[in-house]
């Protein structure tokens, strides 16, 4: 038998699925056979992997026979319905949806932070929400150095976080604006071009959105800090790729801006871009296409000696989704 792994990518025509195919190639993941899955609508199309056209298949359990690792990014409903069957058939599922993230039996993993959690998996490993990943990367070294007490986070999330329909909505509206035509929202609840929408996912009874509660609960689970106070606001912005987050982090022990810079610079998967005199700080247009998260604008909080303000930007299709998922699969291979 040829060396390598039989891999399935579910949601292969979508924004995260397409990026997963690219990252598997870039990182030279040992793929022996690649199978691509999407909805009924895409059967008959192909996706490209390693220079070859791969036919898109309908999502049905028998088509996964022999698959060893399956990457899921086709939405929660699909993960809930198919992932358990596919695990039953012998594959490990790396799930990008929110379906299993808060299940105590399912590890929720950012490899730079809690790689050890993968070991306890029972067939499914969950990949956190994209905004959570970008936010938690710089929080981890601060937590290790001074024990986090409270985090206030405000996100600025790209249209592609809502998938290919989100990208298309922003593109069509920008084109309509340039032609002097009406901008008609087709995917987002409001105009996204030249606008901000403080509403991602459903509102709960307390006024917080689903996206905001993911940031609260997933951050606590990944950092193994169940009592961490997290105060979130998540906002959709007219940017194609990269989520940015303005963070205020309070620790039990004061860390200070200079030490925080050192901690960020040393942490794997984080890059420090913090040179205000040179107008150097992370921005989506600079970070797009990169696998690391970039931190800058590091300041001591003027109102609280134990808190820091900073700004972190990550390509949410890469580190926020596909790169993190492929890193999890690499951990699985290492055993
Ligand atoms: P399709 O392109 O056939 O609709 P995005 O997050 O960019 O919107 O992509 C979602 C991905 O999930 C796409 O690949 C999409 O396929 C896939 N998908 C959506 N609904 C289903 C479904 N019911 N079964 C399988 N795949 C689905």
Q: CATH code at 100?
A: 3.40.50.720
**What global pTM score does this model have?**
0.97
Q: Is the pLDDT of residue 1 over 80?
A: no
Say if residue 167 is in the same domain as residue 216: yes
| Tens-place pLDDT, residues 67-107 | 999 999 999 999 999 999 999 999 999 999 999 999 999 99
Number of domains the chain is built from: 2
Is residue 304 within 8 Å of residue 151, measured between CB atoms? no
User: Among residues 23, 36, 27, 32, which one has the least CA distance to residue 63?
Assistant: 36
How far apart, in whole angstroms, are the C-alpha atoms of residue 11 and residue 19? 11
Say if residue 214 is in the same domain as residue 301: yes
38 lines ligand 1 (CB under 6 A): yes
Residues 6+ apart with CB under 8 A from 140: 110, 112, 113, 223, 267
| Tens-place pLDDT, residues 254-300 | 999 999 999 999 999 999 999 999 999 999 999 999 999 999 999 99
185 lines ligand 1 (CB under 6 A): no
| Tens-place pLDDT, residues 24-72 | 999 999 999 999 999 999 999 999 999 999 999 999 999 999 999 999 9
Atom of ligand 1 nearest to the CA of 163: 7
Atom of ligand 1 nearest to the CA of 167: 7
Q: Is the pLDDT of residue 137 over 60?
A: yes
Q: Can you give the pLDDT at residue 2?
A: 56
Is residue 70 within 8 Å of residue 97, measured between CB atoms? no
Say if residue 138 is in the same domain as residue 78: no
Paired with 71 in beta bridges are: 9, 94
21 lines ligand 1 (CB under 6 A): no
Tokens of 50: 């390693």
Measured in Å, residue 208 CA sits from the centre of ligand 1 at 27
141 lines ligand 1 (CB under 6 A): no
Supply the mean pLDDT for the chain: 97
Is residue 19 within 8 Å of residue 48, measured between CB atoms? no
pLDDT grade for 9, boundaries at 50, 70 and 90: very high
Say if residue 76 is in the same domain as residue 43: yes
Count of C-beta atoms within a 10 Å radius of residue 216: 18
Q: Please, what is the end-to-end C-alpha distance for the chain in angstroms?
A: 21
Measured in Å, residue 59 CA sits from the centre of ligand 1 at 10
Name which residue sits closest to atom 6 of ligand 1, judged by CA: 163
Say if residue 105 is in the same domain as residue 241: no
| Tens-place pLDDT, residues 207-251 | 999 999 999 999 999 999 999 999 999 999 999 999 999 999 999
Measured in Å, residue 13 CA sits from the centre of ligand 1 at 7
Say if residue 164 is in the same domain as residue 293: yes
Cα 170 to Cα 16, 150, 240, distances in angstroms: 17, 34, 8
Strand segments (E) across the chain: 5-10, 31-38, 46-49, 52-58, 69-72, 92-95, 124-126, 148-157, 229-236, 243-251, 270-272, 293-300, 307-314
Catalytic residue among 121, 127, 242, 243: 243
Say if residue 199 is in the same domain as residue 238: yes
152 lines ligand 1 (CB under 6 A): no
Say if residue 146 is in the same domain as residue 294: yes
Measured in Å, residue 41 CA sits from the centre of ligand 1 at 9
Catalytic residue among 121, 127, 130, 143: 130
Q: Which long-range contacts (CB under 8 A, 24 or more apart) does 39-43 make?
A: 39/74, 42/13
Say if residue 222 is in the same domain as residue 254: yes
Say if residue 88 is in the same domain as residue 237: no
166 lines ligand 1 (CB under 6 A): no
Q: Write out the residue range of the structural domain in which residue 67 sits.
A: 5-127+321-334
Measured in Å, residue 130 CA sits from the centre of ligand 1 at 18
Strand order of the sheet with strand 69-72? 46-49, 52-58, 31-38, 5-10, 69-72, 92-95, 124-126
Can 293 be counted among the known catalytic residues?
Answer: no
Tokens of 188: 């987002």
SS3 of 207, please? coil
Q: Is the pLDDT of residue 144 over 90?
A: yes
In the chain, % of residues over pLDDT 70 = 99
Atom of ligand 1 nearest to the CA of 160: 7
Is residue 61 within 8 Å of residue 85, measured between CB atoms? yes
Strand order of the sheet with strand 270-272? 229-236, 148-157, 243-251, 307-314, 293-300, 270-272
Can 243 be counted among the known catalytic residues?
Answer: yes
Is residue 154 within 8 Å of residue 235, measured between CB atoms? yes
DSSP 280: B
Name which residue sits closest to atom 8 of ligand 1, judged by CA: 163
**CATH number of the domain that 312 lies in?**
3.30.360.10
Say if residue 84 is in the same domain as residue 189: no
CA dihedral 51, 291, 243, 177 (to 10 degrees): -40
Say if residue 198 is in the same domain as residue 304: yes
Is residue 222 within 8 Å of residue 215, measured between CB atoms? no
Q: Is the pLDDT of residue 154 over 80?
A: yes
Measured in Å, residue 20 CA sits from the centre of ligand 1 at 14
């Amino acid at each position: 038998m040829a060396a390598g792994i039989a891999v399935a990518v579910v949601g292969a025509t979508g924004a995260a699925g397409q990026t997963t195919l690219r990252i598997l190639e870039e990182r030279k993941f040992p793929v022996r056979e690649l199978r691509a899955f999407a909805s009924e609508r895409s059967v008959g199309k192909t996706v490209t992997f390693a220079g070859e056209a791969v036919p898109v298949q309908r999502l049905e359990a028998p088509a996964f026979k022999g698959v060893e690792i399956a990457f899921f990014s086709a939405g929660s409903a699909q993960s809930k319905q198919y992932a358990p069957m596919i695990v039953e058939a012998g594959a490990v599922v790396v799930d990008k949806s929110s379906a299993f993230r808060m299940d105590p039996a399912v590890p929720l993993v950012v490899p730079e932070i809690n790689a050890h959690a993968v070991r306890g998996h029972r067939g499914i490993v969950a990949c956190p929400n994209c905004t959570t990943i970008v936010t938690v990367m710089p929080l981890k070294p601060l937590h290790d150095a001074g024990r986090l007490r409270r985090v206030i986070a405000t996100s600025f999330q790209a249209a592609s976080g809502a998938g290919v329909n989100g990208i298309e909505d922003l593109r069509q509206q920008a084109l309509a604006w340039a032609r002097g035509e009406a901008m008609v929202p087709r995917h987002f609840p409001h105009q996204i071009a030249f606008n901000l929408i403080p509403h991602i996912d459903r509102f709960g009874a307390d006024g917080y959105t689903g996206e905001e509660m993911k940031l609260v609960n997933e951050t606590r689970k990944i950092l193994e800090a169940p009592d961490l106070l997290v105060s979130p606001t998540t906002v959709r912005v007219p940017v194609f790729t990269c989520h940015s987050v303005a963070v205020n982090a309070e620790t039990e022990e004061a860390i200070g801006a200079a030490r925080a810079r050192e901690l960020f610079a040393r942490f794997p998967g984080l890059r420090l871009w913090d040179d205000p005199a040179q107008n150097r700080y992370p921005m989506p247009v600079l970070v797009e296409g990169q696998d690391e998260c970039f931190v800058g604008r590091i300041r001591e909080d003027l109102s609280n000696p134990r808190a820091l303000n900073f700004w972190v930007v990550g390509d949410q299709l890469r580190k926020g989704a596909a790169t993190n998922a492929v890193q999890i699969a690499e951990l699985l291979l290492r055993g």
